[in-house]
Structure 1
């Protein structure tokens, strides 16, 4: 069953524009956080090598733990986005679809 969706009507809906702005702002925030955290590793290793060499447990040092923490940060950011998308963005999109006359 093929349907013709009126994309112009969706694009002109103020709720869609609000959804797009909210989502874009949120994604940029997550990107900035992840980029700053990512670059803390090479910056820290370059400017604070003694800090990164501190032994924590056996051969593990602060630098290795910080590098491994980047995986945790990436997973956390993915989980935060998924949670927000499932709870807020998807609900807003469903409301727009439900309330709009999308099929010509």
Structure 2
């Protein structure tokens, strides 16, 4: 069965593809910067403010442990948010693009 041939350069210039690509880049780089910033704050905080990170909050659990556990919460939160945005925006734009070039 022969595969349909598409002009990929033309698809890359399509306004819907450009919009989809821009939205994904903004989303991904924005959240990457946020999560990387939180990660490096953990390292910098542990290295330069051990007194702050050593404050006990609940029993032996201190601010440093809570900040480290927050990394997991941030990661899962971003993943859930990405799923919602992809379902709402990225998938819609992809379907519109496929219809248009179909």
Q: TM-score, normalised by structure 1?
A: 0.89
Q: Could you say if the C-alpha distance between residues 58 and 100 of structure 1 is closer, same or farther in structure 2, counting changes exceeding 3 Å?
A: same
Coordinate RMSD, CA, aligned: 1.3
Alignment of 1:90-101 (within 5 A): 90-101=91-102
Report the CA distance between 1:17 and its aligned residue.
1.0
Report the CA distance between 1:63 and its aligned residue.
0.5
Matched, 1:31 2:44: no
CA offsets 1:43-100 (integer angstroms, 9 cap, x no match) = 1111211111111111111101110110000111111111111110110010010122
Match of 1:4 in 2: 4
Unaligned runs of 5+ in 2: none
Unaligned runs of 5+ in 1: none
Runs of at least 4 residues of structure 1 off by over 3 A? Answer: none
Alignment partners' CA distance in 2, 1:11 and 1:89: 15
